[in-house]
Amino acid sequence: MLTLFSIFTFLLSLFGYNPDKQLNDPKAKVLLDAVSKTYKNYESVEANFTLISTNHQQNKSSNKKGTVYLKGEKYKLLMGKQEIICDKKSVWTYLKDIKEVQINDYEPNKEDITPSNMFTIYQNDFNYILNGEDNIDKTECTIIDLMPKDKNKPFFKVRIWINKNAKFIKQMKVFDKNGSTYTYTVTLFNSKAGLEDNFFKFDTSKHPEVHVEDLRM
């Protein structure tokens, strides 16, 4: 991954960063706070999304589809042949192709972007600016760029498109320092998923064919 400050600065300018814009723009904060408040008002959420991973240096890209379920800090992420489930105590990583589930202690790093903190992480760890408006799948969105305060992060910017009416994140694009981008686009959003707490656990009794690798301390 590229870590040189000169390359970091070049990439910021390449993707439209304007140093004259005010960091932590009050208008951006009002909108981000509205998104966070909207999410916190939902008891549980289901969202289908697409992920486009692009290596711009090699001119290669891949498309994946997934579903994420959220309830407070609990989450379940389904993508391809992998499931990641978290109940705030343990994290199960289910690898379907090799019929194995790995269980780890839940050790959240407040600086990492996870399904459970993506709506609030901006509050302490990022600078943010408004960056115009756009239309995503006929949805009017406001664009906000988030720049990590920690320059050692593997990414230098996260761009989010916020649904102007519903106040939720329609699209998120992560800019990696190695020249790759990862674009998540929400294709279906259900704010009334009605998920029970046991939904966020991996029930080994229902998967007797799966090898369990318990790595918890």
> For the segment 33-53, what is each residue's pLDDT rounded down to a tens digit?
888 888 888 899 999 999 999
The model's pTM is 0.79
| CATH architecture entry for 5-214 | Clam (2.50)
Calpha distance 119→41 (Å, rounded) = 12
Q: Is pLDDT at 205 greater than 70 in this prediction?
A: yes
Alpha helices (H) in 111-199, listed in sequence order: 122-125
pLDDT at 83: 94
For residue range 187-200, list pLDDT tens digits in order.
999 999 999 999 99
pLDDT at 17: 34
Q: Is pLDDT at 103 greater than 90 in this prediction?
A: yes
- Torsion angle, CA of 30/34/35/40, rounded to 10 degrees? 140
pLDDT at 122: 60
* Average pLDDT of the segment spanning 114-143: 81
Tokens 């690798």 correspond to 213
Domain ranges, ordered by start, for the chain = 5-214
Among 12-16, 57-61, 97-101, top mean pLDDT goes to: 97-101
Q: Is pLDDT at 9 greater than 50 in this prediction?
A: no
